[in-house]
Structure 1
Amino acid sequence: MTVNEDTPPLFGTGSQFREFLDDPRWALAMIRATVLEAAHPQVGAALIENSTFVAHPWRRLRNTLRSLRRMFGDDDEARHREAARLNRLHARLSGTDPQGRPYDAMDPAVRAWVVATLFESTVTMCRLGGQPLEQEVMERLYTEFRGYLALMQSDGGQLPATVPEFWVYYDRVVAEELENTEAMRIILYRLFDHLPAPPVLGGLPTLWAAGRALTGPVVGAITVASLPEPFRRRAGLPEMPGAQTVMQGAYLAVGLARFLPDGWIRADAVADLLDLTPDSDDPRARTLAALHRRMQRAGALIRLLTPLPTVPEPTSPQTTPRGAEEFFREVLDQTGDGYLDWPDLAAMARELATRLDLDEPEETRLYQAHAEWWRELQQALDTDGDGRVSAQEYADAVPTLAGPALIRVAEVLFDVADKDGDQRIDAGEYRALFRTGFHRDTHRTDGAYTRSAFVKDFLSFMSGRLRSTPYDPVIAQA
């Protein structure tokens, strides 16, 4: 496609992709793209070993949307900073899968496939929604995605130069490289069935369980039905009778939301709403708290009318103690595989660095502090020498958790959160980390958070196993 002075910019206002980012159908397209990514053996292995998508899917969704908005936003400096951040993140993801095959998130062919799934799923979204893209629009969108890839690696050469060549490439990868990976199966058959409630619905387990039981299987069936038929056949993916009709109906129905007034369905606004909690300082929190009270009463009615197992509604989450196993599952086991190892602590460091929008060298300092903590934990808790810590090993030796390396993590976290270097975390710096304002239980001096108070609270959360209003949203919530 020839670019001239009348051609809209590749990024920012006027780009083709910006029109799709807030399209509600793109939620379905993102799930589909993620499944196709996970079906690639290298991506699937990286997800299983390093990703928090099982234990913390809403956090992963929020960070993905924020990254895409930065990459396709109007701020060119923010775009290049985000590209550099993504490169640093992916450079830390490498290893070997259970079959002994190496994986590397910086492999140019792998990164090209990830971008290819986003483009192809966007095109498929429009086709299934009854509005197939015109050829010129499709070419423009493809140019933007190649530009997106070129921001992270010197050129977009791993993706073909033209749309016709792309479809040949895409069909080849689907036919020759994709597999029925464990990561793909988890997304399709475990994630939706066990999807944790987003923070906005925390404290409403009955209503969430009821809604998930109805919608989870449907979303899974829709996703399977939308995958390329040759891959479905080769991977042996079952297709429910009538799934194609349900899938097309879902894309058409969800697509109607795009006719709502501008701003109602901004993807980042929806992600922020899902991240909202009743005790937040957000002005919407009071309304949310009142809504929660009404929904809890509805949940009590559901328990009377349905055979769903009784789930206790939590009370006073700020002061409720956690058991060792619960703390292990909610806080330490970030990847959700039942063990504590380096990818779990790396995921913690990654989330903290993302929240604080760290550059080098602060990001590296935070990772190094977590790496030292992992070595300390491994030496103290890995009694069977298998290179990881089980929940039982953790529970048996939990007092050793708060060692010098954990104190170092707290000190480094304080340093990188203290942007102006005045040895205090003020209200703005506090909000950047916790995404909420000061709370009554926070130690303050002259309206600031001192180093000693910060380290004390962090260690109390990580070793005392008490729920903490500030730290739960950062590390524990899904």
Structure 2
Amino acid sequence: MTDPGGSPSETPDDHSDDHTPGPAPDPTPPAGETHLGSLFGPDSQFHRFFNDPRWALAVVRATVLEAAHPQIGAALADNSAFVAHPWRRLRNTLVSLQRMFGADEHERQREAARLNRLHARLSGTDEQNRPYDAMDPEVRAWVVATLFESSVTMCRLSGQPLDRTSMERLYAEFRAFLAALGSEAGHLPPTLKEFWPYYDRVVEEELENTEALRIILYQLFDHLPAPALLDGLPTVWAAGRALAGPAIGTVTVASLPESFRRRAGLPEVPGARTLMQSAYVAAGLARFLPDNWLRTENLIDLLHLSPDSDTAGAATLTALRDRMDRAGALFRLVTPFPVQHTPAGEPGARRSADVFFTEVLDQTGNGYLDWPDLAAMARELSTRLDLDEPEETRLYQAFADWWRELQAALDTDGDGRVSKEEYAAAVPSMAGPALIRAAEVLFDVTDANGDGTIDTVEYRALFRTAFRRTMPDADARYTRGAFVKDFLSFMSGRRRSTGYDPLLADA
């Protein structure tokens, strides 16, 4: 968490025991529904939507409605890495939903506990000095409400509205999801009939034209970084983004409730409703493509991969990149778009302080380094390693200590954050004690079996690749000293790394 000065106001474990989910409250499914357990798993309505191409549009719409809530919008603006690292955020969100709606009850409980720990760390005040708290039960209920309502809307807009039985079933599933998080089911109305007045009331009385909403609609798609598959092909990506970005924004705005569009002053683009309906219908027709083309698991795997990975899917990624590279060369011959160059560098090459600040340190993309940036790093490392307590809290605490060290050394104007100019002027080339401690804690939590070294399985859990990419001996073990040295070389020496760049620098 942060205090108004921007430093961690309390250690990350201050709330870790306050919000662990207890027995899930009864979500009171409509009469005739089956037992709670059957609301999850492969037979659920949600599971069918999860691989539906239309759901991509629904998720964007739901995210906008979430961001329009003052508390959620403030939390996103202050803490989320969705601007600088949108593909990482999407991947983590999809994996989380997959776990929560899967058939494995133990995995669902672990994921619910992880989400509660994550949300317990997100609180503060917005620009109008209004408090926000990601654990507020009404806020959490609104997140679930937007997912449900956007799923219903996507079916309606694509000309395939849900019948009442399917809609009630889906509503029961989302209420069960909220209950699995340990939230009181009463914050969502118990019946579908009561849901719609609740939804309309929140839209009419609580939603605002927040900064986070404006970023998503007008900045995110215009500056969306290329995913791993298109990294290195900036001209092709820029051309596609120039066409798709405004279209996605227009479709999303047109699908929002009319009363909110009017109150928020969102633009009315001629032909927007026709474009919106065409997009939803086209996405609906895509479901007739072969199943293996549309499985969300394949998308998740693709978002996990990087060119340096040695997994089976990496060979496919490399082949696709080679073909797209050739296509990109042809495209540049016939397009007026200027050739753009992605920052490049061999592993071990040193980058400038400005580039390192933008690519690695400024995780939230707001132009400053403060606690939410280092918290985002700790969050991604914890997610990669799938940490439980107390290891997760140890890692957050180590990064909180590192932030205090950076703030004390670099925040020369005392505003509670570090600007790019302050960072560059300090020429931070030496590792302080807190950074060394952070490296040691990261080693400890990566060393899952506690034998004092990192083997190839533990290494792959963190970096998604095996030793042979970075170590000459595939059977070697990564010692504590070597691991700490490489982490410090990356963080304080600004050295490029085949391991840490995909982990902390890639989108």
Question: Shorter-chain TM-score: which interval?
Answer: over 0.9
Change (3 A) 1:230 1:4: closer
User: Which residue of 1 is the match for residue 172 of structure 2?
Assistant: 143
Equivalent of 2:492 in 448, 463, 477? 463
The one-letter code sitting in structure 1 at the alignment partner of 2:67 is A
The answer on whether the counterparts of 1:443 and 1:449 sit within 8 Å (CA) in structure 2 is: no
Q: Share of identical aligned residues, percent?
A: 71
User: Which residue of 2 is the match for residue 364 of structure 1?
Assistant: 393
User: Which residue of 1 is the match for residue 206 of structure 2?
Assistant: 177
Equivalent of 2:74 in 45, 59, 69? 45
User: Which residue of 1 is the match for residue 59 of structure 2?
Assistant: 30
The answer on whether the counterparts of 1:443 and 1:453 sit within 8 Å (CA) in structure 2 is: no
The answer on whether the counterparts of 1:62 and 1:268 sit within 8 Å (CA) in structure 2 is: no
Whole-angstrom distance in 2 between the partners of 1:462 and 1:442: 19
The one-letter code sitting in structure 2 at the alignment partner of 1:389 is V
The answer on whether the counterparts of 2:33 and 2:169 sit within 8 Å (CA) in structure 1 is: no
Instruction: Give the match's secondary structure for 1:67.
Output: helix
User: Which residue of 2 is the match for residue 112 of structure 1?
Assistant: 141
Structure 2: gaps (5+ residues): 1-29
User: Which residue of 1 is the match for residue 338 of structure 2?
Assistant: 309
Instruction: Give the match's secondary structure for 1:439.
Output: helix
User: Which residue of 2 is the match for residue 69 of structure 1?
Assistant: 98
The answer on whether the counterparts of 1:425 and 1:448 sit within 8 Å (CA) in structure 2 is: yes
The Cα offsets for residues 181-208 of structure 1, whole Å up to 9 and x where unpaired, read as 0000000000000000111211111111
User: Which residue of 1 is the match for residue 236 of structure 2?
Assistant: 207
Whole-angstrom distance in 2 between the partners of 1:266 and 1:272: 10
The one-letter code sitting in structure 2 at the alignment partner of 1:240 is V
Greater relative CO, 1 or 2 (CA 8 Å, sep 6+): 2
Whole-angstrom distance in 1 between the partners of 2:343 and 2:353: 18
User: Which residue of 2 is the match for residue 421 of structure 1?
Assistant: 450
The one-letter code sitting in structure 1 at the alignment partner of 2:154 is M
What value does the CA root-mean-square deviation take over the aligned residues? 1.7
Equivalent of 2:107 in 78, 87, 90? 78
The Cα offsets for residues 371-428 of structure 1, whole Å up to 9 and x where unpaired, read as 0000000000001111000011111113355211111111111111111001111111
The answer on whether the counterparts of 2:54 and 2:280 sit within 8 Å (CA) in structure 1 is: yes
Q: Return the offset for 1:312.
A: 2.3
Alignment of 1:17-416 (within 5 A): 17-312=46-341, 317-399=346-428, 402-416=431-445
| 71-80 or 440-449: bigger deviation | 440-449
Whole-angstrom distance in 2 between the partners of 1:445 and 1:436: 11
Q: Return the offset for 1:264.
A: 2.6
- Normalising by structure 1, report the TM-score: 0.96
The one-letter code sitting in structure 2 at the alignment partner of 1:275 is H
Q: Return the offset for 1:274.
A: 3.0
The Cα offsets for residues 41-60 of structure 1, whole Å up to 9 and x where unpaired, read as 00000000000010000000
Whole-angstrom distance in 2 between the partners of 1:149 and 1:113: 10
The one-letter code sitting in structure 2 at the alignment partner of 1:258 is R
Tell me if 1:438 matches 2:467. Answer: yes
The one-letter code sitting in structure 2 at the alignment partner of 1:13 is P
Count of aligned pairs between the two proteins:
478
| 206-215 or 4-13: bigger deviation | 4-13
- Normalising by structure 2, report the TM-score: 0.91
Change (3 A) 1:423 1:308: same
Instruction: Give the match's secondary structure for 2:293.
Output: coil
Change (3 A) 1:438 1:275: same
The one-letter code sitting in structure 1 at the alignment partner of 2:298 is A
Q: Return the offset for 1:13.
A: 2.2
Q: Return the offset for 1:443.
A: 6.9
Whole-angstrom distance in 2 between the partners of 1:62 and 1:42: 23
Whole-angstrom distance in 1 between the partners of 2:392 and 2:36: 38
Q: Return the offset for 1:87.
A: 0.6
Q: Return the offset for 1:3.
A: 4.3
The answer on whether the counterparts of 1:202 and 1:277 sit within 8 Å (CA) in structure 2 is: no
User: Which residue of 1 is the match for residue 23 of structure 2?
Assistant: none
